[in-house]
Amino acid sequence: MVNESSFLTMHNLQRRKENSEEYLIGRTDESNFVILPNIAIEIIDLYDQQLTTSDISKIMQERGIEVDVLDFAENLVNDLQFVYKVDGVIINDVVEDKSHFKNLSPTVSRLLFSNFAYFIYILFLLVGMCICISNTTFIPTYQDIFVFDSISSSIIFATLLGWILIFKHEFAHLMAAKSLGINSRIGLGHRLVFPVVETDMSNIVLLPHNKRYRALLAGMAWDGALFGIGVVFLLLNTIGIEMNIVLLNIIKLINLHCVLAIAFQFMFYLETDMYYVFTTYFKCNNLLHNTRLYIRKLTKRISKEQTIELQNIDQYEKKIMQKYVWFYLLGVIWAIGIFIIVSIPALLKFLSIAIMKALHSNILSIAFWDALIFIAISSIPTGILIYSWIKTWKSNRVSNRPISLD
């Protein structure tokens, strides 16, 4: 479809200088970015000046640069999808901006994620931790999940509150990204065998590395601050300011959720918040993907294209990858092991008990609806996981299909 006489019209491409030899460049509507050498950026700029592939090849030859412009043009069209039109025909259409809360005030966002705000959040977390160290009865335990005497009511309440707290965590990311001028989108996904809610703020790579932490740590900052405030309330209750027992139980449940939420982020063999902090600090552009390629190489399941991709990784990132791979393998084995040995049997056991209870109860009885609600709640995470697996599988199938003008 692309030939020597082709004119290419690019999408609106944003770029950032990565180092003296390379640029990061990509489409903000699709949030797909790559690192390209300076010569590739020059070629894109020449296409923007309405030159044909042949014209650009001649310019490169005159400058003594041996570069396959036609091959790069095909890459721009098919793999990178940076090209909007070839010879006036739309090849890769513009994608509608689907980011959430676009009208959120950047001023309020900047206020809530300023350096001073972060100081307050960390202060609350440290106060909470100090109180817990001095009095270990404030440390959350799994018993804290039971807010009410009724187990079913407690599980329903914990689930509803859990979803509010999950949204609060993701909204913090979205707001902090907004304070940096980056629009984001909240959606459902998975990390290996864990169903997750995620905030896609991929355009953040256009910012210098040291500017990104504010958005990457925002969710944990709010979790930590909320935990600290909760512990202070529990302390106040013990020194004379008595509170309602249900309110106290709700505070304990919030504290439990916050601690588990922060712990989850440290599973950095998955793409969690701490993984992104790690890769941002070490300036790795695609650590997890490259690690998986490296494992494919070790297990001799690597294709020719993947071998070329692996060879082109920076030496610096390769060194980090060769250490990270062991964390990744151990983490994956642990997670899949827990999933098979604990999660699936526990889910099946509870579901079978609930189904038997529902089958042996009158449809108008509390026991029947109690069992039904439990089944529905248990199915939500599993449903998200299956939905996300199917979505990823479909997306991989589409991305492997070449683009055609036919």
> Which residues are near another protein by CB under 8 A?
24, 26, 31-37, 39-40, 43, 65-68, 71-72, 75, 79-80, 170, 173, 189, 198-202, 204-205, 212, 215-216, 218-219, 271, 273, 276, 279, 285-289, 308-309, 312-314
Rounded Cα gap, residues 201 and 330, in angstroms: 28
Choose between 220 and 253: whose C-beta lies nearer to another protein. 220
Q: Under a CB-based contact definition with an 8 Å cutoff, are residues 317 and 284 in contact?
A: yes
Distance CA 220, CA 267 (A): 13
Closer residue to another protein (CB): 173 or 178: 173
Helix (H) or strand (E) holding 141: none
Minimum gap (Å) between residue 139 Cβ and another protein: 26
Looking at the Cβ atoms of 214 and 252, the one nearer to another protein is 214
Strand 194-200 vs strand 13-17: parallel, antiparallel, or unpaired? unpaired
Which pairing describes strands 32-37 and 13-17: parallel, antiparallel, or unpaired? Answer: unpaired
Pick 27 or 252: Cβ nearer another protein: 27
Rounded distance between C-alpha atoms, residue 259 and residue 350, angstroms: 25
Q: What is residue 95's DSSP assignment?
A: P
Compute the least distance from the CB of residue 259 to another protein, in Å. 18
Provide the 3-class DSSP secondary structure of residue 238.
helix
Question: DSSP string of 324-340?
Answer: HHHHHHHHHHHHHHHII
**Minimum Å distance from CB 8 to another protein?**
14
Give the nearer residue to another protein in terms of CB position, either 65 or 130: 65
For the CB of residue 88, give the shortest distance to another protein in the complex, in Å. 25
Rounded distance, CA 297 to CA 312, Å? Answer: 14
Residue 227 or 275 with smaller CB distance to another protein = 275
Nearest approach, Cβ of residue 244 and another protein (Å): 35
Q: How far is the CB of 293 from another protein (least distance, A)?
A: 10
Residue closer to another protein, measured from CB, 158 or 221 = 221
CB of 94 to another protein, least distance (A): 19
Q: CA 232, CA 238: separation in Å to the nearest integer? A: 10
Residue 34 has phi, psi (to 5 degrees) of: -140, 165
